[in-house]
Structure 1
């Protein structure tokens, strides 16, 4: 087995490679795909240049590869085309296991991030590649800036209402990816992955209070209030609208479901919210 991890220099990609090595995969059997190969030199595995906008680099990176982890790109609005380029190259290369990190309920969710993931899942299905879909819930690390801000101001302000988030640490999701990459029996499966506990923003405020040693209030914002606050903080109108739409999705329950699948895959409980936040505080 030879495994290609795309986006290998990103926060999740690095942890996936670490998890593969911890599971005993030979470093020479892992290829880190990266746009900037210099940033991957410390990973301890083979490195290949892989630029989503350069089909030749994708084809070259896939030479001799039978297993691929496509970690979803970070460039919103460009991801469908970027992902499709990897899917097409993987099909041409004869890849026998193709794993993709998607979003919760990607094909039915109203979450603003879902459409590109839905399109990617459809492209994978149309390709006929033997695939596994990992629909990752939120990473607890996404809240690092909120922890810092609330610890300073005593206020956690958001438009998430009473919505719940079944987050887990990136390490948890990375371990799950390593499991499906190295084990048999996962082809054709779509896994909804989330933390063991779906928490509220009141819970998040309480966790930040425990970490910071000061009281933290969760202040629920209406959409217009949140948009005004975000733009006052320097965000452009489009970015502010995107953030507000994410929170509206959370308020509507887009990230609330958890059924223990992630814990079962990794063979342990997922990282509790408080522990995950302490690691990034």
Structure 2
């Protein structure tokens, strides 16, 4: 009898130590949860227009005041966020290292930058290349125009508001319908200007027109006073786009030339 009892105890002890039998092994660790919460606070600050106050952060990330204060203090000590003169939390200098590292490590296809530079050389206008990076549409290469009055260069790595950008609309229009639908479901159709398309049905109609004509336009939808034109890079299944950004005053008169330059730059070389 004693032998049987010892065996039972041994089995119970082994099952108690087994990860498969211990439900607590599958529970999230407090340290991991804390890291996730810290990142959520950082992202809330990063995605805001002019920073956030503590109460705003609490509401956005859904945490208590005590936990929010603790996480903010942690981020402040690292220098990744700071408190400005308006008592709002904004990104700190340490965040610049992350942004610069992201741009360095983005590693866009080598063929994109020469195409962008060729567009600038042929038109004098600001040009860029965009593409899919995981589930986001990102500016992969940019070059400022040579004209004295030109469009500002968007930074490499920029993403967001694809529904208002020529390259974004083009890539969404050419994407698999499910990919397009999932992107729009997680990216609200916010108005950047009074001309931004914010109605889903109207945007779908524009996507159909883009597929028909083979290029996309931004008619002051992202920035007032600027118009953009984008075409797909040939032979790459709609994964990359080349675009040009031009002050509205000279866009119409040069549209055909811009379009020709873009299509030439988008052709497969060699």
State whether TM-score is above 0.5. no
Higher relative contact order (CA 8 A, sep 6+): 1
TM-score normalised over the length of structure 2: 0.28
